[in-house]
Chain A
Amino acid sequence: DGGITQSPKYLFRKEGQNVTLSCEQNLNHDAMYWYRQDPGQGLRLIYYSQIVNDFQKGDIAEGYSVSREKKESFPLTVTSAQKNPTAFYLCASRPHLSSLGSPLHFGNGTRLTVT
């Protein structure tokens, strides 16, 4: 079945450590996204990528980094510079921009806890 796979489901890290969250999709979608979700808030865009080897900052990119070396993969690194990293992280994808207005498809998220 086609879909978006995020791993791991739960991740625990000590403060000061970088951590990388995985996102893989086999939908042949060109665009991929990372969102952060905090309790009682809507989803906030961290980074997005419309094409391989290119990505753009979202609204809350500080303390995060991404790479897009393959179409299927868009890993997110939460660096030690992110001041409040504990959150639920959601990866999403959608077809190329030529599919105007197409909605996002989400993975099942990774809950990151930093202590």
Chain B
Amino acid sequence: GQQLNQSPQSMFIQEGEDVSMNCTSSSIFNTWLWYKQEPGEGPVLLIALYKAGELTSNGRLTAQFGITRKDSFLNISASIPSDVGIYFCAGRTNFGNEKLTFGTGTRLTIIP
């Protein structure tokens, strides 16, 4: 099956620092999604990307759909304590495909 490699697995950063994480795929994707999950809760959608090269922002978060269509990046600027959580990328190979492939997550910890 398809695989999504998400890195890094975990990050420990100081409050105020910028964060970068990425996902790479063995297949070409038509959709990239980024979710955040807090302990004991379901994932919440942060950003959705539908076009190669697309760069989309949501507040301090910015995500990009890679030109090769096999990767995506998420950046968080000026991190704050409430950014703590696990960030998942997810991708779909075509718009009609019901199966969304998820990355293994990046656990973000912020040191005050």
Q: Knowing A106-B42, A108-B41 are in contact, say whether A58-B99 is a contact too (CB < 8 A).
A: yes
Number of A-B contacts (CB under 8 A): 65
A41 to B103, CA, bound (A): 8
- Residues of chain B with a CB closer than 8 A to A106's CB: 35, 42-44
Which residues in chain B, 1-44, are within 8 Å of chain A measured between CB atoms? 1, 4, 6, 9, 30-31, 33, 35, 40-44
Quick one: which of B40, B45, B102 contacts A42, CB cutoff 8 A? B102
What is the size, in residues, of chain A's interface with B at 8 Å between Cβ atoms? 29
Binary interface profile of A, 1-17, with partner B (CB < 8 Å = 1, else 0)?
00010100100000000
- For residue B107, which residue of chain A has the nearest CB? A40
Which of B52-60, B77-85, B88-96 forms contacts with chain A?
B88-96
Q: B interface vs A, CB < 8 Å? A: 1, 4, 6, 9, 30-31, 33, 35, 40-45, 48, 50, 88, 90, 92, 95-96, 98-105
Q: A interface vs B, CB < 8 Å? A: 4, 6, 9, 31, 33, 40-45, 48, 50, 56, 58-59, 90, 92, 97, 100-101, 103-109, 111
